[in-house]
A and B are shown apart, each in its own frame.
Chain A
Amino acid sequence: MQSFGGAVMALYRGFATTLQFAFQKKPTVQYPSVRKQHAPRFHGLHELRRYADGKERCIGCELCAIACPANAITVIGAENAPDDRRSPGERFAGRYEIDELRCIFCGLCEEACPTDAIVLTPRFEMADYRRGSFIYSKDRLLVPPDAGVGAPPDERPGGIPADLGWVTEQKSTVDIARGYDATYNGAKLKDEHKGLTLQ
């Protein structure tokens, strides 16, 4: 049986914990008006890029369709006409369709593409009412000619650099203090867990 004073102290400690969160920064992201910043290499909706002169990057090689683990991509190549060149190569994508409902957003199409034509963007709002509206063809995937070239997928901020040496160095140690700094209420947690190091 707990003493009366002990019970009061337990109540005090419990309510103090609750109360201290009332004055801290609210972690809620007010979603429809504010969008959360996802990871730099977040995989969202696809887009087909162009070169600076407006020509399509896609050369219709179908490597993305072969790499796709979900068989979500359909590419049918077509020959470039001499007077109407759509891409710098011999062929271009006559049809390019992605079934976004089947796609698992793994990014293997992005890695397989020899011309960096197919790139996953950070867009995550893709829900819709009808099943048929998820077959994205070139009219929705291809960026407009004035959209610019865009950053290649390997050179995005925070992305994996071209040589993997840096990544293997980083993986060998875990900087636990840096992890605390990145989290909400991190400084307090760091104090509590002082002495805990991970080599």
Chain B
Amino acid sequence: MAGVSEAMPGQFLLGKLDDVARWAQSSSVWPLTMGLACCAIEMMSVTNATYDIARFGSEVFRASPRQADLMIVSGRVAQKMGPIIKRLYDQMADPKWVISMGACASSGGVFDNYAIIQGVDTIVPVDVYVPGCPPTPDGLLYALNLIQQQIRQGGRGGILARA
């Protein structure tokens, strides 16, 4: 969209429509219902009243990857789980984003062994990394805010970002 508004300068409506679309997109980032380990407990607690992820429009954890925009990889990724996560990511519709939540998903953490994939970014592209073991729910909300900022500044997730 940015390319169109640059090719035709002075097109006021195009620019504003772009902003509205980004605002709508960033205010409805729906995560995928997917918990892998103990970080998933903290991921679930962002939906409770104290943290209330609904304030950012992301309270709808979709059970189907085809309806989800955001994959929160919450927990250590075992070698056997890797292909499943890759498949879930491929089933999500573009644009899509990935948060790598916690030490294990981001880098393997303490589990530097044969069973755990050392960083989920070796199988899916990660947009935001959250350190912590586990991160606090506010830490995850901060990561979601980073993704929203990225969308509002014109960032596009998934295949569009790599195009």
Give chain A's interface residues, CB within 8 Å of chain B: 26-32, 35-36, 38, 69-71, 99-106, 124-131, 134
Contact = CB atoms under 8 A, between A and B. Distances in A.
B26 interface: no
B129 A134 contact: yes
Nearest to B99: A127
Nearest to A102: B107
Interface stretch (B1-9, B10-18, B45-53, B61-69): B45-53
Contacts, number: 91
Contacts of A126: 130-132, 135, 139
Q: Which of A26, A36, A126, A130 has the most chain B CB atoms closer than 10 A to its own CB? A: A126
Interface residues of B, number: 32
B51 A106 contact: no
A101 B131 contact: yes
Contacts of B136: 38, 124
B131 A69 contact: no
A26 B143 CA distance: 24
A181 to B, nearest CB: 18
B109 interface: yes
Contacts of B138: 29, 31, 35-36, 124-125
Interface of B: 49-52, 55, 103, 106-110, 112, 119, 121, 126-133, 135-136, 138-139, 141-143, 145-146, 150
Contacts of A70: 103, 109-110, 112
Given A124-B139, A127-B129, 12 more contacts: A28-B49, A28-B51, A29-B50, A31-B51, A101-B103, A101-B131, A103-B103, A104-B133, A105-B133, A124-B136, A126-B135, A129-B127
Contacts of B107: 99, 101-102, 131
A124 B129 contact: no
Given A31-B138, A127-B142, A71 B112 contact: yes
A125 B146 CA distance: 11
Contacts of A103: 103, 131, 133
Nearest to B146: A127
B158 to A, nearest CB: 15
